[in-house]
Chain A
Amino acid sequence: MGLYATTTRRRIAAVFVLLGLIALPWGMRLIGQEFYVSFASRVLIMALAATSLNLVIGFGGMVSFGHAAFFGAGAYCVAVLAESGVTSAWLAWPAATGVAAVLAVLVGAISLRTRGVYFIMITLAFAQMVFYLVVSLKTWGGDDGLPLLQRSAFGSLDLKDDSTFYFVVLAILAFVLFMLDRIAHSRFGRVIQSIRENEVRMEALGYPVFSFKLVCFSLGGALAGLAGALMANQAGLASPNLLHWMQSGILMVMIVIGGVGSVFGGVVGAVLLLVCEEAFVEITPHWQIGLGLLLLAVVLWAPLGIAGLFGWGRNRE
């Protein structure tokens, strides 16, 4: 069916995975491993961040190497607001999303005038500027980051409870994935995917390509900001590591392994990478050699990622 293929089978699989994830906290309690609920929250948050990058790289075809800037901006926004007394999630999380969106509009408006390697480098440069700026600010904790003394207040829900926080994160991720699936098949989604395929032709068909790319880039940045807000809550800290270029690299590796341009690619990649890390880091500190081999194998033999192997990819020619 070409580029925009979708199947009901894929949706059914998604529902089963969702049910399994809902049951996870009870399962962990049953086997007395409640520590893993908090770990699972971290995995889902990284999945959200990777998904937001997949919107930009996989659907929009813009290879951004500066996504950490928006991820970190969301985290710092929540921590700074909490310091000045704003602890409501209803205020802080949309604010984090909004700040990241504005930052993404600014970075995108300049970066999207370049192409290819230049785009990769200019987005990296912007992200590193943000990183060094934040690290140099003593009021925001410098190298140590800015602690978040308590998790955001979310109505009557107590986010201090790891299971409750996990469910909130899961609900947000599920909603974003549902949105992404809708977007992928909407007029807008088809336009950005066609721009990825042939930018010049789209311009020659009358599409203001730059505007479409900027909207897509900013939407990805905004979602990364939301993921950052959740990450600050999960870790109890807005860490400069979230802004570092390695973070951008990790998110990129996640979507390459998971599936560039597939709705679930970010989730598959994040789960695989973090679960492997958790499992193998105990055995050997050199587990990343294995990761390197996996990445190599995916790039060589499964360019649509793990999701692509299961027919969830963007293209099944």
Chain B
Amino acid sequence: MSEGLDLLLDVRGVSKHFGGVYALNNASLSVVRGEVHALIGPNGAGKTTLIHVLSGALPCNGGRVVFDGNDLERRPMHERVTLGLARSYQITNIFTRLTVLDNVAMAVQSRVRDWGSSFSFWKPFSLDSAIIGEAHALLAQVSLSGMANRLAGQLSHGEQRSLEVALALATKPKLLLLDEPMAGMGPEESERMVGLIEHLAQQVTILLVEHDMDAVFRLADRISVLVGGTVIASGSPEAIRGDAEVRRAYLGDEVA
């Protein structure tokens, strides 16, 4: 299907079962460098499980994941981040007791790989102007500049979702895994998030898990459909919209 293309992520026949229940069953999927690839599917289809497997939070029971030429098997989560694979969380996962700026600075600092880096015991962090500067730039990108000195726990839900994305973005990923970035958002906040993702898509490849079909069909270059732990179709938004099997299994009347 995508031979000859520059594959950034190649998921081949990945399975994951919890006891006897298969959350992923021989799921295959490929993400081309530069695209926004949406992953859709009904609740319980295994979308978040796939994100967990890709990011290294869960080991898989079979299959291979190749990212940017590296086999990811047995690599711990932090190494995958170093390779350029960052994720956001469906349930907001930020440092609520740190300021917004400190949240992002922490993420920026993780990338600093010069000797001593994060094992520097002496120099006060507050003097790290390069890191602080970059953190401010990231906050501007997600429209949180005005909130820099607020505690992250005090932000609104929508703002926390933006911060969640900024954290993943700060690691300068090649592939950004966004797990339902619009979860729990009102229409206005969703609209802003769609704008942000459109903007980010110019800099980074994105694998987007999302329930909001309007957003998916607006943003995605390609769509994969996960049903019962298996990818039943992959293709352009038009092809997916027209796919009879997808309609029957998932989309139903929604786009009919």
Instruction: List the interface of chain A (C-beta within 8 A of B).
Output: 1-4, 182-183, 185-191, 194, 197-198, 200-209, 212, 215, 315, 317
Contacts and interface: CB of A to CB of B under 8 A. Distances in A.
A223 B77 CA distance: 31
Given A187-B128, A204-B87, A205-B110, A2 B122 contact: no
A188 B82 contact: no
Nearest to B153: A317
A2 B151 contact: yes
Contacts of A2: 97-99, 102, 151
Given A2-B98, A189-B121, A201-B94, A206 B126 contact: no
Contact of A206 (B94, B96, B111, B122): B111
B109 interface: yes
Nearest to A208: B78
Given A3-B98, A194-B106, A209 B120 contact: no
Given A204-B55, A206-B81, A206-B171, A198 B121 contact: no
B74 to A, nearest CB: 15
Contacts of B111: 206
A200 B99 CA distance: 18
B125 A3 contact: no
B93 A191 contact: no
A166 B143 CA distance: 56
A187 B81 contact: no
Measured as residues with beta carbon below 8 angstroms from the partner, the interface class of chain B is: 35 or more
Given A205-B78, A209-B78, 15 more contacts: A2-B102, A3-B102, A186-B125, A187-B117, A187-B118, A189-B125, A190-B102, A191-B109, A197-B95, A197-B97, A201-B95, A202-B110, A205-B110, A208-B78, A215-B119
Nearest to B119: A188
Nearest to B93: A201
B123 interface: yes
Q: Chain B binding site: helix, strand, loop or mixed by DSSP?
A: mixed
Contact of B106 (A183, A186, A203, A205): A205
List of 8 A-B pairs having minimum Cβ-Cβ separation, nearest first: A206-B81, A206-B110, A187-B120, A205-B110, A2-B99, A185-B124, A203-B77, A205-B107
B55 to A, nearest CB: 7
Given A2-B102, A205-B106, A185 B77 contact: no
A4 B151 CA distance: 12
Contact of A194 (B82, B89, B95, B121): B95
B133 to A, nearest CB: 15
A205 B123 contact: no
B124 A315 contact: no
Contact of A198 (B78, B95, B110, B124): B95
A182 B94 contact: no
A191 B171 CA distance: 15
A206 B171 CA distance: 8
Contacts of B87: 204
Nearest to A179: B121
B167 interface: yes
A53 B138 CA distance: 37
A204 B93 contact: yes
Given A205-B81, A206-B78, A206-B111, A190 B125 contact: yes
